[in-house]
Amino acid sequence: MSPERYQRIRQVLDKRQTDLTVCLENVHKPHNVSAVVRTCDAVGIHRVHTVWEEKYQFRRGTAMGSQQWVRQTNHENIGDAMGALKGQGMQVLVTHLSDTAVDFRDVDYTKPTAILFGQEKYGATDEAIALADQDIVIPMMGMVQSLNVSVAAALVLYEAQRQRTIAGMYNEQHLPEAECQALAFENGYPRLFKLCQRKGLPFPPINALGEVDANDSWWKEMQITPLEAKALSQQEG
């Protein structure tokens, strides 16, 4: 991994927002899932949450788009998902037209926030709506009553990004350094990363030049030399 690539990876990781996320409930069309995750990556979301009922479970793990940069946590049901999100102190918003719904731009996204998007045709389930803290809507002036889920997600998430940028929340590192190092190793040295996993070895630190900075015993257990590792990295681009 070149120093330039390492610095680019670090610039991305340093802006990751660990207290902003989305939860996709039964959003099962691959192009929609992929588009939402891509937007999550673009606005600096580190992890997305998913819930798929049994009839949608064949979609699990598919079309996650930028999955090498955005982590995924799947929950067995919406109750578990809501419990996990609220357990992290997040306000949970759900896109749902109701008498108590507020314009999505009137929400404070500088707070720890999870945004729930429901299934393409039917929207969020009644259970999800009941468990959420606030319904939000995107004002519609035309004949249609809703936007495609991936478009709706982009609008809401970029409002969250706008508010967080003004508040300076992208100017400080939120991800623990150990996780930044692990992600840099995984994406900068994918072959070494997989070998390290197979051998059950701890991930090595990456220095400021983007090089694996491991001791001799680690290299010996990996059964590969630093020179060979550098050659592998060059082959991987």
- Give pLDDT tens digits for 37-65: 999 999 999 999 999 876 555 444 544 54
User: What total number of domains does the chain contain?
Assistant: 2
Residues 61 and 106 in one domain: yes
Residue 152 CA to residue 96 CA, distance in Å, equals 11
Q: What percent of the chain has pLDDT over 70?
A: 88
**CATH code of the domain containing 94:** 3.40.1280.10
Residues 64 and 152 in one domain: yes
pLDDT at 28: 79
Residue 169 has pLDDT above 90, yes or no: yes
Task: Quickly state the pLDDT bin for 232 (edges 50, 70, 90).
Answer: low
Residues 84 and 198 in one domain: no
Residues 162 and 48 in one domain: yes
53-70 burial, b at 16+ Cβ within 10 Å, e below that, comes to eeebeebeeebbbeeebb
Q: Which residues are annotated as a binding site for S-adenosyl-L-methionine?
A: 95, 138, 147
Task: Quickly state the pLDDT bin for 93 (edges 50, 70, 90).
Answer: very high
Residue 205 CA to residue 192 CA, distance in Å, equals 13
CB–CB of 197/185 below 8 Å?
no
Residues 188 and 157 in one domain: no
Residue 108 has pLDDT above 90, yes or no: yes
Indicate the average pLDDT of the chain.
86
Residue finishing a domain among 146, 166, 186:
166
Residues 131 and 26 in one domain: yes
Residue 9 maps to a domain: no
Residue 7 maps to a domain: no
Residues 128 and 190 in one domain: no
Task: Quickly state the pLDDT bin for 142 (edges 50, 70, 90).
Answer: confident
Q: How far is CA 152 from CA 55, 94, 113, 139, 189, in A?
A: 24, 11, 16, 11, 35
Q: How far is CA 34 from CA 49, 61, 73, 107, in A?
A: 13, 11, 15, 26
Residue 212 has pLDDT above 60, yes or no: yes
* 3-state SS, residue 171: coil
Residue 4 maps to a domain: no
Output DSSP code: residue 75. Answer: E
Residues ≥6 apart with Cβ < 8 Å to 154:
35, 39
CB–CB of 5/188 below 8 Å?
yes
β-strands 134-137, 91-95: how paired? parallel
67 lies in which domain range? 17-166
Residue 11 maps to a domain: no
Residue finishing a domain among 166, 190, 222:
166
Residue 232 maps to a domain: yes
Residues ≥6 apart with Cβ < 8 Å to 137:
95, 96, 97, 101, 102, 103, 104
Residues 188 and 83 in one domain: no
**At residue 99, what are phi and psi to the nearest 5 degrees?**
-65, -25
Give the gyration radius of the chain's Cα atoms. Answer: 20
Residue finishing a domain among 135, 166, 197:
166
Residues 27 and 139 in one domain: yes
More confident residue, 104 or 57: 104
Residues 161 and 197 in one domain: no
Task: Quickly state the pLDDT bin for 32 (edges 50, 70, 90).
Answer: confident
Residue 2 maps to a domain: no
Residues 127 and 208 in one domain: no
Q: Which residues are annotated as a binding site?
A: 95, 138, 147
Residue 3 maps to a domain: no
Residues 154 and 104 in one domain: yes
Residue 141 CA to residue 128 CA, distance in Å, equals 26
Q: What percent of the chain has pLDDT over 90?
A: 45
pLDDT at 236: 58
Residue 39 maps to a domain: yes
Quick one: average pLDDT of 201-221? 89
